[in-house]
Chain A
Amino acid sequence: MATKAQSRITPLTILSVAFVIIWVIIASFPFLWTAWGSFKVQGDFFSKADWTNALIGTNTIAETGSAFTTAGYYGAWVQEEFWRAVLNTSIVVFFTVTISLTFGTLGGYALARSGYKYAFWLLMAALVFRAMPHITLVSGYLLPFFEWNIWGILPTTIIVLVAINQPFTLWMLHSFFLNIPKDLDESAMVDGCTRFQAFRHVIIPVMWPGVITTGLFSFLLAYNDFTVTRMLLSQENETMIPKIASFLGSTQVQGNVMFAVAAVVSATVPLIVLIIFFQRQIVSGLTAGAVKG
């Protein structure tokens, strides 16, 4: 509902729009450049002599006969068995999200409906836990996990990621359940439901929007994690992100860097698809904690 006076073009407006345009370029250019370059050979992607080489693929044509090559992808997915890492990532992410949402909804619901002081202190403790750098926690896990012989396997990593995820999940679902009117489950209890039945039959059907939003962020945490997966998984159970990091360990041998570039692009695509479908939920999730204070 912009009035005429508000929509008048002033130097300030032009300045701020120019600023946004610059930001959009800064935010998107690296991704476009890397995605385009992943179909070239290393000589083009790192073309010091002439940057247009990276666009038209001079060296790529010379080496492979065509302007686009999928050699990087073949090398990463087949030769270096990146598909195995993708499979591991899928397993870790799926179970982490499912388990942390189950734990989180139960806990978040309880915190939202309990008026006692300890609920507040639990939330505060969760906030402090949320601030712990992950690597400090990992340095506490390693020795016991080695002793108990549970280091290196996927279930250990999954449960650790679930735990690290809990503080955030609790806060988010707690504030979401506060928005569901108390009368809803209380009237069910007046009608003779127990607390759990009320939760099961009244709250679960209406909680999906909040759960989906929280689930997206759990997904991102598990998918993007490097610290935990790098330290707690053995080589054959490696997920995508530590795998990409290990590509870098092998020095910039001809072609090998392009494996990493292809793997990086492959790991980014699911995230872009995620934003396309869930942009609204991501935005509302980011602001949920903030706007409600």
Chain B
Amino acid sequence: MKHRTFFWFILPTLSAMVLFIALPIVSVAVQSLYIEHEQVLVVTESCGPFGCDETTTIDTEATAALRSEQPLGRFNGLGTYTNRAHLAFSEIGEAWRTTESLGDFFNELLNLPFYWALAFTLTYTFVVTPFVIVLGLAIAVGVNNLPRLFKGPTIFISLLPMIVTPLVGALILFWMVDADGVIGALLQRLFNDPSLSLKATTSLNWVMLIVYGIWSSLPFSFIVFYAGLQTVPHDTMEAAMIDGATKWQRMIHVVVPHLMPLVVFITLIQLMDNFRVFEPIISFQAEAHARSLSWIIYNDLIAAGNPLYGSAGATSLLTIIGVAFLLTPVLIRTWRDFNRKSV
């Protein structure tokens, strides 16, 4: 295709992506260098018969004028990145010097909001992803063994947790595990502990969110593996059978290697999607115990009255760097493949 024709065909989609994905990233970077204006204070001296009094008042008009004049705020350089709410270098240094053991140090570290959110986001991502892959494969093999009649309905039901809106799906589960809900009440009876609540402790909150994550992502890996199973070469399977391989051995030595490219694909998609975990925290109202990077950005943006654009921008940029780290292995791989092809 000629360059000129290509340009006209790609123009709409490219301009949409540049305007609303690439430029916002730049805008986020710029925002993160600025910080909100301080309120303009006016010191007035009023002198009475008993001496002079100094009173400090907020000049609301001047503050508003300043804010509308320079909506970005005042320049702060990298100050936002290093403050307590983000990378918190000085606090880390302090903790390193004052704590005795490594465990204490990590406790101090997790008290810092950014590292606490990072810890949850990474735990969620790296626990949910492997579970989704292994369980998805198990379900795919199971469904493949079913009589044809049952396959369609099973796939229909399996799609539900994935297709349904994340916020809504998480809410449905949340109501069930509520202390008064059906699962919550059942657990209380099982453990004979009427005060048991999944919402009360941090670890149970994390477990609950991770279980939701697995529940909602399983269908995706199941469907992909199921489609992959249909393409397993018949001859190889027969050859393995003639050689006396059991069902389990065929599974491990023929089917799994055949599905390996799909594992890479699912891992990629799952890492991307799980790293931005956000809606379940809203639905489960778990922000007291579990915060993700996306959640702290959201929290900055909805801050009553005056959104903290600077703070949100800094966290956003750090998140983007995190995503870049996750994606690097895949991008390098693709780049090598591409070069090999073009040689």
Contact = CB atoms under 8 A, between A and B. Distances in A.
Nearest to B311: A139
Interface string B271-312: 010011011001101000000011001101110000101001
Contacts of A33: 176, 182
B168 A140 contact: no
Interface stretch (B48-56, B99-107, B134-142, B198-206): B134-142
A17 B247 CA distance: 15
Interface stretch (B86-94, B111-119, B222-230): B222-230
Contacts of A164: 20-21
A268 B180 contact: no
5 contacts: A47-B180, A136-B317, A244-B168, A245-B282, A279-B152
Interface string A41-65: 0000111100100100000000000
Contact of A124 (B182, B285, B334): B334
B254 interface: no
Contact of A51 (B159, B165, B186): B186
A274 to B, nearest CB: 7
A248 B223 CA distance: 33
Given A136-B319, A139-B301, A290-B227, A48 B179 contact: yes
B297 A135 contact: yes
Nearest to A267: B168
B309 A133 contact: no
A224 interface: yes
Given A31-B172, A136-B28, A23 B158 contact: yes
A20 B23 CA distance: 46
A10 B246 CA distance: 11
Interface string A92-117: 00000000001110110111011111
Contacts, number: 291
Contact of A48 (B155, B180, B319): B180
A289 to B, nearest CB: 7
A140 B320 CA distance: 12
Interface string B130-151: 0000000011011101100000
B250 to A, nearest CB: 10
B276 A26 contact: no
A293 to B, nearest CB: 6
Interface stretch (B10-18, B38-46, B58-66, B77-85): B10-18
Contact of A20 (B154, B279, B326): B154
Contacts of B6: 110, 114, 116, 119
A48 B185 contact: yes
Contact of B297 (A136, A143, A248): A136
B142 A27 contact: no
B316 A291 contact: no
A134 interface: yes
Given A143-B27, A166-B13, A227 B228 contact: no
B233 to A, nearest CB: 14
Interface string B151-163: 0101111111101
Which 5 residue pairs of A and B lie closest in terms of their CB atoms, listed nearest first? A140-B24, A163-B20, A110-B9, A107-B13, A133-B276
Contacts of B262: 290-291
Indicate the member of A117, A125, A224, A289 with the most B CB atoms within 10 Å. A224
Given A54-B182, A142-B307, A290-B228, A226 B13 contact: no
Nearest to B31: A143
B261 interface: yes
B261 to A, nearest CB: 6
B127 interface: no
A254 interface: no
A46 B220 contact: no
